[in-house]
């Protein structure tokens, strides 16, 4: 290469190097910018997730605070403290769960109908299985939801509200109202029961803006665009930090998926624009320094090139002369060295093989005389190498000795050459040692010899003998165990089978009797014919054999088929012989329980029939009570009008008739009310309103109400309540119903001029504070055999034969009410005379009791 070409190439390489350095700097700047945008996107997505989770947690706190105070006052106070410019909440509302039979009561209470949005107008909602109407909403502005609006018909809002009703956690509910331009983002959370939900509207602009960061700090939302989608609505974004711009088509910088408020939400971060990095001043300085350094290197290289060319010319001439002299000398030395190395390597290889081998090696000449042995052979024979040398090999190994002197050693060697064989080595102590020999022939240019490799196999011979003995012992044990297993199978009354790969290999007599088969017809065949269908056979195998391979005892119940085609119910028990080796098979037991299954089906059918009869009776009582009470109210109304007119005309006889009609009508109305209450209790529709009330005040009111009735028979009611006030979680109306029944019975059975005692006190029991209420009368008491049965429906005490009368429903209703209060009621007799009725209820409703007190669980009177 001439000087001009070197200059051109050096210049091109310098330009290329500077261009590459400039490109690397630009790429580093671009990569740094992308890393910053990725960091901003990750930070922005996490910030938005934390805010949404904070809103959900804050909603749960708001719902708890709203549930602990009266709703109208608390909703307004909560709205004033929550809906502010510095919070994302834009509105608060109450949603109620309304069934079709409750719609009329709801519309009457809110003075508005349940409506839906149609073409931006409110229209009455069509009949649906359930409704989720708005009962109240604050603030009442342009974005407020109208009262009575049914959110259950908007998109998938009904499923979200169902989830919130049955969960204690807030649920995020994105909705789009029909006719509206934008979508709403709300949070629904259950209040104190599953019939009332708190609705909190989120303002998306407040939720997405970066208002919570410190002033003066860089906001990640200013550098990236955050978009959030729900899994249910992947086409429409839930949140967008730049909603006015079209959705980006480029892939996001960062994505993350979170479960928030019962929704799978995907957060994506997009760059604000195209990354166009620029060169900084330091980069230009580095390029300039590199260019100067390349120029200096180029100049220094030219100086060195001139000096190097002069030295190369001198060295070239000297080197040519030296090469000619050394070439001749090297050829002479190489010939001698190669011959010496070949000889030395051959001798060293032979010595190394003989000395290092762990096997005994014996070199034998073509006449059968020992030439040389290695140290391993010396140890094996027990004699030194000098004593063995020139010894006939037949003296050591009998298998290499031929008694026929006409045969040479070569004939003996040819018989054993190339394959190992066993022999006996004669040691120095005349002991014969079992060995394994390998004989090979080595051919030299002017001679040949044999190499014998000898290995001690005495230990192997002992192990082989031990293995043969162990094999014979194991065969005997297997034979004994096989006979024991066969005897066990034949003697067992249970049907048993040994199955490998789902094929029958061995069965007992009970199995053949159960399945009505012959042994030669089923052994070695599949178990599929014993099942109803091949699908059942496949399904059972997949379900059970994975458990069998885990070492478990499996149990199942299947309908199987006998050899005659009869189906029967069978209980199967199975276990693998060795779970780690499935090929060893499984043991199965079969038990016929068809009779038990038929009995269970009969009992189940009888139970269903009894429940249907009870339900029909209950519905009949409820319907007849309603149908009879309507004309009875009309009769009582006209009776009062007749009494008033008879008194005005001074017709005492007519007034007496109307009085008797009214008395009989009131008794009939009481009976109908008891029947209606009993029907409600049996179907679980009795309504209770349990709250904190003064039990003493309730008892005073009932005693004052019953005093005029007792005064007609000159009976005095004595009330003693301690402490006073005695506050407890009760339904005053239902407790009053219990006390009316008990006092009415006490008045009926007490003699004229008697006294009825009513006592209430607080008692400390191991399970907590309980309230004990007793009613004592001076009547004949209750027979001991009837103390429990009088609380059954339509059952009266034999003491009613005295003329007290009754329907037998009052005490049954009392027990149902007390049971709904988590208490119990019972009767006893006083030591002297009279009956004592006692009920005990907890002062505080148990912690495990349901919060819904409108529908008490159905109970059965004993």
Q: Are residues 127 and 236 in the same domain?
A: yes
Using CA atoms, how far apart are residues 343 and 142, in angstroms rounded to an integer?
111
For the segment 426-454, the average pLDDT, to the nearest whole number, is 84
Domain boundary among 456, 481, 509: 456
Higher pLDDT, 200 or 357: 200
In terms of phi and psi (left: phi > 0; alpha: psi -120 to 50; beta: otherwise), the region of 838 is beta
What's the pLDDT tens digit per position in 746-770?
888 888 888 999 999 998 888 888 9
Tokens linked to 393: 């090999």
Claim to verify: residue 535 and residue 603 sit in the same structural domain: no
pLDDT class of 721 with cuts at 50, 70, 90: very high
Pick the last residue of a domain from 456, 483, 508: 456
Q: Any idea which residue has 């509910």 for tokens?
A: 173
Summarize the confidence of residues 586-606 as an average pLDDT.
Answer: 88
Three-class secondary structure assignment of 662-701: HHHHHHHHHHHHHHHHHHHHHCCCCCCCCEEEEHHHHHHH
- Assess if residue 674 is contained within a domain: no
Boundary of a domain, candidates 239, 271, 303: 271
Q: What is the CATH number of the domain that holds 801?
A: 3.30.565.10
What is the average per-residue pLDDT within 848-856? 48
Helix, strand, coil share (%) of the chain residues, nearest 5: 50, 25, 30
- For the chain, the straight-line distance linking the first and the last C-alpha, in angstroms and rounded, comes to 118
Has residue 511 been placed in a domain?
yes
* Separation of alpha carbons 365 and 387, rounded Å: 16
Three-state DSSP at 155 gives coil
Hey, what are 563's tokens? 């050899």
Give residue 81's pLDDT: 83
Residues 550 and 649 in one domain: no
CATH of the domain at 363: 3.30.450.20
Listed residue (682, 321, 641) closest to 649, CA to CA: 641
Residues near 850 by beta carbon (within 8 Å), at least 6 away in sequence: 857
8 Å CB contact between 826 and 838? yes
Q: Is residue 110 part of a domain?
A: yes
pLDDT of residue 276: 62
The residue-averaged pLDDT of 598-608 equals: 87
Q: Output the pLDDT for position 550.
A: 84
pLDDT tens by residue, 341-379 = 776 777 677 777 777 777 888 888 878 888 888 888 888
Q: Look at the chain and report how many structural domains it folds into.
A: 5
| Residues 611 and 574 grouped into a single domain | no
Q: What is the CA radius of gyration of the chain?
A: 53
Q: Are residues 662 and 716 in the same domain?
A: no
| pLDDT tens profile 808-817 | 677 888 888 8
Same domain, 587 and 610: no
With b for 16 or more beta-carbon neighbours within 10 A and e for fewer, the 484-497 pattern comes to: eeeeebeeeeebbb
pLDDT for the residue numbered 761: 93
pLDDT tens, position by position, 513-544: 888 888 888 888 998 999 988 998 998 888 88
Return the pLDDT at 342. Answer: 75
Per-residue pLDDT band for 861 (boundaries 50, 70, 90) equals: very low
Same-domain check for residues 172 and 237: yes
Q: Are residues 516 and 614 in the same domain?
A: no
Same domain, 690 and 658: no
pLDDT value at position 179? Answer: 67
Tokens of 144: 């407020």
Round to whole Å and give the CA distance between 34 and 832.
97
E-strand stretches of 31-100: 89-96
Shared-domain flag, residues 426 and 509: no
Q: Is residue 743 part of a domain?
A: yes
Per-residue pLDDT, averaged over 420-438, amounts to 85
Report the range of poorest mean pLDDT among 113-127, 705-719, 782-796.
782-796
Q: With respect to residue 730, please indicate whether it lies within any of the assigned structural domains.
A: yes
> Residue 22 falls within a domain, yes or no?
no
The pair of structure tokens assigned to 545 is 């054999």
For residues 517-552, one letter each, b for 16 or more C-beta atoms within 10 angstroms of the residue's C-beta and e for the rest, the string is beeeebeeeebebbbeeeeebeebeeebbebbeeee
Of 312-316, 476-480, 627-631, 682-686, the least confident: 682-686
Mean pLDDT score of the chain = 81
Give the CATH number, domain containing residue 170.
3.30.450.350
Domain annotation covers residue 372: yes
Residues in the chain: 862
Which residue bears the tokens 């037991």?
Answer: 589
Does the pLDDT at position 323 exceed 90?
A: no
pLDDT for 628 beyond 60: yes
Residues 623 and 538 in one domain: no
Which residue range is the domain that position 520 belongs to?
A: 492-592
Query: 661 and 702: one domain?
Result: no
Instruction: Answer yes or no: is 466 within a domain.
Output: no
Residue 70 has pLDDT above 70, yes or no: no
Whole-number pLDDT of residue 720: 92
Burial of 843 (0-12, 13-18, 19+ CB in 10 A): middle
């Amino acid at each position: 290469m001439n000087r001009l070409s070197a200059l051109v190439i050096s210049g091109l390489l310098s330009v290329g190097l500077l261009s590459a350095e400039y490109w690397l700097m630009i790429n580093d700047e671009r990569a740094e910018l992308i890393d910053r945008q990725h960091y901003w996107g990750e930070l922005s997505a996490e910030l938005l997730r934390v805010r949404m989770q904070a809103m959900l947690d804050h909603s749960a706190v708001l719902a708890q605070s709203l549930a602990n105070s009266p709703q109208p006052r608390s909703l307004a106070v909560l709205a004033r403290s929550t809906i502010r410019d510095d919070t994302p909440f834009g509105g608060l509302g109450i949603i109620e769960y309304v069934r079709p039979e409750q719609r009329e009561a709801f519309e009457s209470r809110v003075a508005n109908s349940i409506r839906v949005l149609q073409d931006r107008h409110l229209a009455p909602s069509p009949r649906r299985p359930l409704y989720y109407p708005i009962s109240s909403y604050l603030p009442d502005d342009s974005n407020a939801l109208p009262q009575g609006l049914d959110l259950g018909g908007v998109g998938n809002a009904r499923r979200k509200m169902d989830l919130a009703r049955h969960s204690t956690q807030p649920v995020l509910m994105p909705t789009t109202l029909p006719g509206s331009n934008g979508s709403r983002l709300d949070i629904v959370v259950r209040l104190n029961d599953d019939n009332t939900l708190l609705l909190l509207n989120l303002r998306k602009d407040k939720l997405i803006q970066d208002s919570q960061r410190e002033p003066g700090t860089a906001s990640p939302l200013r550098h990236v665009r955050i978009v959030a989608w729900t899994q249910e609505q992947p086409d429409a974004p839930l949140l967008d930090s730049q909603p006015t711009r079209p959705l980006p088509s480029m892939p996001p910088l960062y994505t993350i998926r979170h479960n928030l408020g019962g929704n799978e939400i995907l957060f994506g971060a997009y760059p604000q624009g195209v990354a166009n990095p620029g060169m900084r001043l330091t980069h230009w300085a580095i390029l300039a320094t590199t260019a100067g350094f390349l120029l200096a290197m180029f100049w220094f290289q030219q100086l060195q090139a001139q000096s190097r060319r002069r030295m190369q010319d001198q060295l070239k001439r000297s080197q040519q002369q030296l090469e000619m002299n050394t070439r001749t000398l090297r050829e002479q030395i190489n010939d001698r060295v190669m011959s010496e190395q070949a000889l030395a390597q051959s001798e060293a290889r032979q010595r190394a093989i003989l000395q290092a081998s762990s096997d005994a090696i014996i070199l034998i000449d073509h006449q059968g005389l020992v030439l040389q042995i290695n140290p391993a052979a010396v140890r094996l024979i027990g004699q030194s190498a000098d004593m063995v040398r020139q010894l006939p090999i037949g003296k050591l190994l009998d298998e290499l000795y031929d008694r026929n002197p006409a045969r040479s050693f070569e004939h003996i060697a040819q018989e054993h050459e190339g394959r190992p064989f066993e022999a006996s080595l004669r040691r120095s102590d005349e002991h014969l040692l079992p060995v394994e020999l390998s004989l090979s022939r080595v051919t030299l240019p002017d001679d040949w010899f044999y190499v014998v490799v000898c290995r001690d196999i005495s230990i192997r011979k002992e192990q082989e003998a031990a293995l043969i003995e162990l094999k014979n012992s194991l065969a005997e044990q297997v034979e004994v165990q096989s006979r024991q297993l066969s005897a066990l199978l034949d003697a067992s009354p249970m049907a048993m089978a040994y199955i490998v790969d789902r094929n029958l290999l061995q069965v007992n007599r009970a199995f053949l009797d159960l399945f009505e088969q012959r042994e030669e017809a089923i052994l070695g065949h599949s178990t599929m014919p014993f099942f109803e269908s091949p699908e059942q056979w496949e399904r059972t195998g997949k379900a059970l054999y994975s458990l069998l391979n885990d070492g478990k005892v499996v149990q199942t119940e299947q309908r199987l088929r006998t050899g005659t085609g009869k189906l029967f119910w069978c209980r199967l028990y199975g276990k693998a012989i060795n779970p780690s080796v499935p090929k060893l098979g499984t043991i199965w037991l079969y038990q016929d329980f068809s009779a038990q299954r038929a009995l269970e089906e009969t009992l189940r059918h009888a139970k269903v029939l009894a429940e249907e009869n009870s339900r029909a009776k209950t519905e009949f009582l409820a319907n007849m009570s309603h149908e009879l009470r309507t004309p009875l109210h009309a009769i009582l109304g006209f009776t009062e009008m007749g009494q008033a007119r008879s008194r005005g005309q001074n017709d005492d006889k007519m007034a007496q008739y109307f009085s008797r009609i009214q008395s009989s009508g009131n008794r009939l109305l009481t009976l109908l009310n008891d029947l209606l209450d009993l029907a409600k209790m049996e179907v679980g529709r009795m309504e209770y309103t349990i709250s904190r009330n003064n039990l003493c005040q309730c008892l005073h009111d009932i005693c004052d109400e019953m005093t005029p009735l007792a005064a007609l028979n000159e009976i005095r009611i004595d009330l003693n309540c301690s402490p006073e006030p005695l506050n407890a979680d009760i339904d005053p109306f239902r407790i009053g119903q219990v006390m009316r029944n008990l006092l009415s019975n006490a008045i009926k059975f007490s003699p004229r001029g008697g006294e009825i005692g009513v006592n209430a006190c607080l008692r400390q029991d191991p399970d907590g504070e309980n309230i004990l209420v007793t009613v004592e009368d001076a009547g004949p008491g209750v027979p001991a055999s009837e103390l429990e049965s009088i609380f059954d429906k339509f059952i009266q005490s034999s003491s009613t034969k005295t003329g007290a009368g009754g329907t037998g429903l009052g005490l049954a209703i009392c027990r149902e009410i007390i049971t709904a209060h988590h208490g119990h009621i019972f009767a006893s007799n006083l030591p002297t005379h009279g009956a004592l009725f006692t009920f005990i209820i907890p002062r505080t409703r148990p912690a495990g009791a349901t919060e819904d007190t409108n529908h008490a669980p159905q109970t059965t009177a004993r």
